[in-house]
């Protein structure tokens, strides 16, 4: 069999097995990932029950593409704004989980006699819960509106980001084979530099291109462009020395901030599911029963450590973040399992040759066990929370359960004006500094060779001068943004100046320091092409200081780049505010409370169609309020109790999580499910050649009035000419062949 046929046969085996076992998993109410892994185990060459895969290399290639799509999809779900909105709570929770489980992995690995590098990878993979399993479980159980859900999802976002960083750092350690603090720090700085640069450039360029091409972007074209951008960033990340997974994640996070982000995520769902299935099946193929049988004690030990450790550390982290007992216990029981990043990190360790072969199937077995227990752990959160609440002393409960007002304001992470000013200051310096460093690097790597090719007739000195002029020209807008424009710094500075006039001196010092940093970049550009003496450096500093002080009042147009970037960055939120003003306002103003909105479209089969809101059981049995009715293009804000409800109205309800769940249930209970009937069996399409005594012969269609009887003539063969949908004045003649559609009894009566 040729290689191409082998590939097709392998995919057929993978997808058929995946389909069968995911149906079984669905029937048993288990996560689909479990079905994929079991399918891979069944078709693996280790078991030999069914026709096994002929080429594991081809499957590995497909699984690598699967990893790319999985991380691209995770990036689309990731949002820097979501991370900021959950405040420090998700950062604290994820940080404690990762640090605690990383150290736990080191201890367990050492106790098992594993090498230091194996223990490091074990600590890294034990730190990651499954985003896919948790989101799927929350969807199936209807928990996405619970108060703790936002913290769970925020923590998962932070863990995904930490996992990407861990992959880079562990790869560096594996390649260097030694622990070098300086090398690790340089790798981290290099990673941060490229992440910031890619995000800034991507957020400035990609939304602009999508906006320009908006009228041409149907679903097909948008999907192709998105996947092309994903693989382009994958290639760029690989060229820069990073993993392909990092590139996919970064491009996903960039597209997530665009107006088209939600649409791209929807379009990618099918492809992500397909390649994700191939990836998880390939994971299952790595499960070797012989290895697991030989190391079953290790599998059980790591599984217990993973579930128990993540439960303890995530609950502790949530409590320290001020989330209260109930939310913290639910977060702990939700996070207690290993996820897809654990597979990826384990696979990375094996591919780099720093982990023994038996460890990968052991980790897969641990993940299968924890995935299987995940739904039961999530369900156990409620009784565990109630039990702890009944056993803990009231004094401790008062200390760990914040009051509603404290919770609302703590989520906003209020800080004093000085800390706000310094935060804005540092962000501005770092972002513009990254862009300027990138320009300097590009200038040194590209401009010199380009000048030699394009300007061979010029002297070397003049070519350097031309390169320097081009470099400084490109740097000017970003130097202006670094040294002159203030952005959100002005807001904090103005308040500080009103509070105390002496604050002007430290604020002025910070402004001058920014100018000095900008001048340092200019010096770096000049000295990369020419040598400067002491007086030359002083002259550049003096001229630069004078230029920026003058530019502050003269070159306002240079701030346009920053303005366009912020417009691109906030475009998705602005569109949501325009399209969903009520829901957006509630989400923004009441984010710290258990108050949400729910949009329900009224079914034509709803029992209260045509009745007023006052006559419906919404308020009495659920406690919600209807704050808006969207009826086609008409928007009814704060409808009165006398407002009737019609089919396909969209009701915007506001209330607590429990109230909204009751509201949804009431809507479902009062919506009839149309009974299946056999009416369609009475519908026929039949034909007959008219005779002299036929009921239709000699009559026009208007005279027959067939429609009242539930049938009609759709075609007539008249004088060897086929007439489709004849008009009402058409007269039937003997010998015509007519085709009649409609109710069986009526058609037979006319024929």
CATH at residue 640: 3.30.70.1450
Do the beta carbons of residue 664 and residue 598 sit within 8 Å? Answer: yes
Residues 703 and 648 reside in one and the same domain: no
| pLDDT on residue 403 | 55
Residues 234 and 307 reside in one and the same domain: yes
- Of 167-171, 663-667, 670-674, 737-741, least confident by mean pLDDT is 670-674
Q: What is the pTM of this model?
A: 0.64
Q: What is the mean pLDDT of the chain?
A: 76
Copy the structure tokens of residue 192: 């941060």
Q: Is the pLDDT of residue 629 over 70?
A: yes
Whether residue 432 lies inside any domain: the answer is yes
- Of 85-89, 283-287, 360-364, 619-623, least confident by mean pLDDT is 85-89
Whether residue 396 lies inside any domain: the answer is no
Alpha carbon distances (Å) from 679 to 638, 675, 743, 748, 750 = 43, 11, 9, 16, 20
Whether residue 505 lies inside any domain: the answer is no
* Domain stop point among 669, 689, 706: 669
* Domain stop point among 624, 649, 669: 669
Residues 84 and 106 reside in one and the same domain: yes
Q: Is the pLDDT of residue 185 over 70?
A: no
CA dihedral 478, 479, 484, 487 (to 10 degrees): 30
Q: How many domains does the chain have?
A: 4
- Of 376-385, 421-430, 585-594, least confident by mean pLDDT is 585-594
What's the rounded mean pLDDT across residues 721-750? 85
Do the beta carbons of residue 39 and residue 281 sit within 8 Å? Answer: yes
| pLDDT on residue 412 | 40
Using CB atoms within 10 Å of the CB of residue 249, give its burial: 0 to 12 exposed, 13 to 18 middle, 19+ buried. buried
Give the helix ranges, DSSP H, for 240-358: 244-256, 261-285, 289-294, 296-320, 324-335, 340-351
Whether residue 406 lies inside any domain: the answer is no
CA distance 299 to 265: 36
Closest to 194 measured CA to CA, from 226, 252, 242, 228: 242
Q: Is the pLDDT of residue 407 over 50?
A: no
Residues contacting residue 225 through CB under 8 Å, at least 6 positions apart: 210, 217
- Report residue 383 CA to chain centroid gap: 31
Whether residue 653 lies inside any domain: the answer is yes
Residues 46 and 160 reside in one and the same domain: yes
Length, in residues, of the chain: 751
* Domain stop point among 532, 566, 600: 566
| pLDDT on residue 578 | 59
Residues 192 and 307 reside in one and the same domain: yes
Higher pLDDT, 161 or 42: 42
| pLDDT on residue 553 | 53
pLDDT band at residue 444 using 50, 70 and 90 as cut-offs: confident
| pLDDT on residue 623 | 76
pLDDT band at residue 406 using 50, 70 and 90 as cut-offs: very low
CA distance 497 to 491: 10
Residues 636 and 540 reside in one and the same domain: no
| pLDDT on residue 409 | 41
Q: Is the pLDDT of residue 414 over 50?
A: no
Per-residue pLDDT reduced to its tens digit, 115-150: 888 888 888 888 888 776 776 677 667 677 677 777
- Report residue 641 CA to chain centroid gap: 39
Residue 447 structural domain = 425-490+513-566
- Which contiguous run of DSSP H or E holds residue 685? strand 683-689
Whether residue 643 lies inside any domain: the answer is yes
Residues 437 and 562 reside in one and the same domain: yes
CA distance 667 to 600: 8
CA distance 492 to 509: 15
Residues 620 and 707 reside in one and the same domain: no
Whether residue 402 lies inside any domain: the answer is no
Residues 94 and 158 reside in one and the same domain: yes
Which residues share a beta bridge with 738?
Answer: 688, 716
Per-residue pLDDT reduced to its tens digit, 261-277: 778 888 888 888 888 78
Residues contacting residue 662 through CB under 8 Å, at least 6 positions apart: 621, 622, 623, 624
Residues 43 and 138 reside in one and the same domain: yes
Residues 188 and 46 reside in one and the same domain: yes
Higher pLDDT, 192 or 223: 223
Residues 661 and 683 reside in one and the same domain: no
Whether residue 371 lies inside any domain: the answer is yes
């Amino acid at each position: 069999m040729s290689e191409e046929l082998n590939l097709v046969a392998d995919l057929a085996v993978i997808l058929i097995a995946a389909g069968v076992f995911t149906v079984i998993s669905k029937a048993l109410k288990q996560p689909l990932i479990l079905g994929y892994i079991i399918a891979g185990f069944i078709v693996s060459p280790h078991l030999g029950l069914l026709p096994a895969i002929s080429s594991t290399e081809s499957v590995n290639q497909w699984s690598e593409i699967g990893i790319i799509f999985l991380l691209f999809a995770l990036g689309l779900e990731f949002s820097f704004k979501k991370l900021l909105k959950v405040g420090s709570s998700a950062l604290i929770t994820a940080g404690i989980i990762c640090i605690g489980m990383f150290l736990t992995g080191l201890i367990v690995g050492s106790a098992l006699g594993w090498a230091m590098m194996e223990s490091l990878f074990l600590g890294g993979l034990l730190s990651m819960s499954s985003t896919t399993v948790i989101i799927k479980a929350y969807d199936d159980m209807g928990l996405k509106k619970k108060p703790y859900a936002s913290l769970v999802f925020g923590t998962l976002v932070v863990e995904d980001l930490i996992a990407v960083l861990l992959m880079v750092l562990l790869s560096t350690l594996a390649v260097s084979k030694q622990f070098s603090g300086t090398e690790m720090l340089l790798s981290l700085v290099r990673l941060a530099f490229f992440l910031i640069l890619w995000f800034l450039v991507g957020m400035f360029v990609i939304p602009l291109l999508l906006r320009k091409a908006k009228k041409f972007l149907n679903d097909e074209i948008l999907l192709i462009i998105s996947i092309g951008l994903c693989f382009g960033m994958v290639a760029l990340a690989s060229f820069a020395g990073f993993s392909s997974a990092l590139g996919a994640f970064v491009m996903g996070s960039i597209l997530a901030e665009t107006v088209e982000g939600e649409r791209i995520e929807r379009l990618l769902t099918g492809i992500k599911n397909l390649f994700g299935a191939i990836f998880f099946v390939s994971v299952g193929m790595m499960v070797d029963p012989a290895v697991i049988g030989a190391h079953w004690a290790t599998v059980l030990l790591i599984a217990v450590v993973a579930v128990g450790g993540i439960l303890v550390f995530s609950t502790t982290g949530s409590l320290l973040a001020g989330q209260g007992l109930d939310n913290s216990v639910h977060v702990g029981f939700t996070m207690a399992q290993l996820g897809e990043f654990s597979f990826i990190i384990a696979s990375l360790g094996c591919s780099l040759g720093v982990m023994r072969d038996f460890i990968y199937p052991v980790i897969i077995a641990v993940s299968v066990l924890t995935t299987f227990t995940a739904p039961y752990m999530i369900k156990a959160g409620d009784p565990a929370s109630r039990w702890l609440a009944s056993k803990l002393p009231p004094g401790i409960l008062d200390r760990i359960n914040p009051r509603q007002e404290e919770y609302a304001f703590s989520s906003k992470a209020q800080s004093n004006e000085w800390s706000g000013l310094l935060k804005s200051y540092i962000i501005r310096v770092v972002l513009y500094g990254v862009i300027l460093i990138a320009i300097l690097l590009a200038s040194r790597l590209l401009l010199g060779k380009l000048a030699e090719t394009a300007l061979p007739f010029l002297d070397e000195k003049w070519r350097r001068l031309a390169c320097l002029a081009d470099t400084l020209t490109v740097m000017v807008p970003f130097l202006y943004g670094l040294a002159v424009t203030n952005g959100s710094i002005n807001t904090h500075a103005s308040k500080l100046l009103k509070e105390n006039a002496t604050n002007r001196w430290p604020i002025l010092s910070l402004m001058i320091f920014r100018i000095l940093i900008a001048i340092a970049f200019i010096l770096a550009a000049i000295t990369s092409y020419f040598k400067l003496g002491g007086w030359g450096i002083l002259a550049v500093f003096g001229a630069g200081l004078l230029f920026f002080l003058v530019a502050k009042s003269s070159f306002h147009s240079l701030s346009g780049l920053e303005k366009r970037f912020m417009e691109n960055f906030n475009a998705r939120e602005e569109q949501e505010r325009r399209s969903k003003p009520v829901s957006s306002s509630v989400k923004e103003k009441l984010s710290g409370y258990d108050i949400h909105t729910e949009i329900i479209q009224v079914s034509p089969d709803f029992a209260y169609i045509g009745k007023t809101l006052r006559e419906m059981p919404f308020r009495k049995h659920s406690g919600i309020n209807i704050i808006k009715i969207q009826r086609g293009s008409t928007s009814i804000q704060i409808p009165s109790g006398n407002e009737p409800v019609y089919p396909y109205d969209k009701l915007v309800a506001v209330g607590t999580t429990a109230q909204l769940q009751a509201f949804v249930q009431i809507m479902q209970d009062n919506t009839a499910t149309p009974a299946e009937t056999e009416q369609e069996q009475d519908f026929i399409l039949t034909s007959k050649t008219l005779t002299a005594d036929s009921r239709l012969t000699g009559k026009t269609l208007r005279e027959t009035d067939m429609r009242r009887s539930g049938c009609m003539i759709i075609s007539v063969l008249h004088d060897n000419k086929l007439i489709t949908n004849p008009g009402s004045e058409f007269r039937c003649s003997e010998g015509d062949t007519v085709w009649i559609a409609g109710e069986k009894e009526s058609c037979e009566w006319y024929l």
